[in-house]
Structure 1
Amino acid sequence: MTRFLFFCLAASLFIYGCNSDSKNKSAASGDSLEAAKTKSASKKNIVFFGNSLTAGYGLDDPSLAFAGLIQKRIDSLGLAYKVINAGVSGETTAGGNSRIDWLLKQPLDVFILELGGNDGLRGIPVSETKKNLQSILDKVKAKYPDAKLILAGMQIPPNMGQEYTSQFRMLYADIAKTNHVQLIPFLLEGVGGEPKLNLPDGIHPNVAGHKIVAENVWSILKDQL
């Protein structure tokens, strides 16, 4: 009888210990999840708003595009920023101007505007491209006046004529100066026109090309963080 009572008591203690351990693990797991949520919520948002260049067109893994590489750089430095890739292949400045209102429903702290390349390739009047880019910046500033703004400059081949090509190149510097925003002079510096750094279409960077583009962006972005 005594032995039976001993086993009952031992079993009760074992069950209590398991339940207690389970509760402790559950509580710890809940605390960890809550901490992860808090950490994520405390991060500031960097939005890359662009076309296929930002989206990583043609890459097997879109995270290897320059925006994804910027996130990896930020993580390696322990900076509290989250990159949001808002690139859409084929986007023009007109399309971006229509889309920006929806995007601004989420908070942002740094805004990188990368649009206009498709306008240039289609020969859209420079004045129209300039108006759309200005409108996008105005909407961002109105919604988030404290956000840091960066404009990615673009250049195009002289297919549309020297005058158009020159005007197109200059419009980015003009907009950056007018709005007092940081300018990446030419997003594809060191990549554009280099076959080994681009996909077979000769327009979109390959993995190696995106690494260089990421450095072009980081050289301007790092001082804003």
Structure 2
Amino acid sequence: MKNLGICYALLIIIFFSCGEANNKQKEKKEEQQEVVAEENENSEGSKTILFFGNSLTAGLGLESEETFPALIQEKLDSLNMDYRVINAGLSGETTAAGKNRINWVLNQDVDVFVLELGANDGLRGIPLEETRQNLQDIIDIVTEKNPDTEIILAGMQLPPNIGQDYTTEFRKIFPELAENNNVHLIPFLLEDVAGRPELNQQDGIHPTAEGQEIVAKNVWEVLEPIVDAENQEE
């Protein structure tokens, strides 16, 4: 019973830490739009990798340079690859909210689109088919905007105490969508990070700076062959 109480407490912490009040969410979205617009103005000519996600991408609790998208930018720069990385992560984002803002984010050319959404749906117990359909709709919108955009879908898993049937079916959404749409898959974004207290902040769900470094490696394993292939085509 004690362990069950801890699990419930952790879920409550996760739920509220991932969610934001409506006015704060609006302010963060406006700030993000300003950042993206500024990056667009300053990075003409470069290829674009856009990370579209929630607080895991945004780097809740960390400095912007500690987030895994920023670490990917460092990696690309070290290899003299002409790519700009845009961090379009927004804390508290669900797949439905992401679907609502995707068209604005695509007001620019995107060469690689990394889709990292779904965790907040799972923590809220949103019906699985709704999550699946929203992710499918986002993929469809990106593809319709530019069929040549390489799409990477970040797989996610949920704590087992949420319910075995739900967590099992939730985990299946990502590889099935990747296969059905012929897009790239990161099997589990938080591989080697999730469940390790030393690599997560006090809430137990958001990676520390060290944890973000491992997440960046998980992303790079899938991203590297894509950017290598694009460079060879030039």
Judge same fold: TM > 0.5, yes or no: yes
Alpha-carbon distance in structure 2 between the residues aligned to 1:54 and 1:63: 12
**How far did 1:39 drift?**
9.4
What residue number does 1:27 align with? none
Which runs of structure 2 are paired with 1:5-20 in the superposition (5 Å)? none
Q: Counterpart amino acid of 1:162?
A: Q
Alpha-carbon distance in structure 1 between the residues aligned to 2:168 and 2:116: 18
Selected match of 2:60 from 50, 57, 61: 57
* Counterpart secondary structure, 2:216: helix
Distance 1:150 1:142, change over 3 A: same
State yes or no: 1:43 paired with 2:46. yes
Which runs of structure 2 are paired with 1:144-223 in the superposition (5 Å)? 144-223=146-225
Alpha-carbon distance in structure 2 between the residues aligned to 1:64 and 1:111: 20
What residue number does 1:85 align with? 87
What residue number does 1:142 align with? 144
List alignment gaps of at least 5 residues for structure 1.
1-36
Alpha-carbon distance in structure 2 between the residues aligned to 1:177 and 1:106: 27
Bigger radius of gyration = 1
Aligned-residue sequence identity (percent) comes to: 57
Alpha-carbon distance in structure 1 between the residues aligned to 2:135 and 2:108: 20
* Counterpart secondary structure, 2:44: helix
**How far did 1:40 drift?**
3.5
Alpha-carbon distance in structure 1 between the residues aligned to 2:110 and 2:143: 11
Alpha-carbon distance in structure 1 between the residues aligned to 2:92 and 2:169: 22
TM-score, normalized by length of structure 2? 0.79
TM-score, normalized by length of structure 1? 0.82
- How many residues of Structure 1 are paired with residues of Structure 2 in the alignment? 188
**How far did 1:132 drift?**
0.2
**How far did 1:223 drift?**
0.5
* Counterpart secondary structure, 1:138: helix
What residue number does 1:23 align with? none
List alignment gaps of at least 5 residues for structure 2.
1-39, 228-234
Cα displacement string for residues 14-57 of structure 1 (whole angstroms, at most 9, x for unaligned residues) = xxxxxxxxxxxxxxxxxxxxxxx999322101000000000000
* Counterpart secondary structure, 2:50: strand
**How far did 1:63 drift?**
1.6
Aligned structure 1 segments of 4 or more residues deviating by more than 3 angstroms: 37-40
Q: Counterpart amino acid of 1:94?
A: A
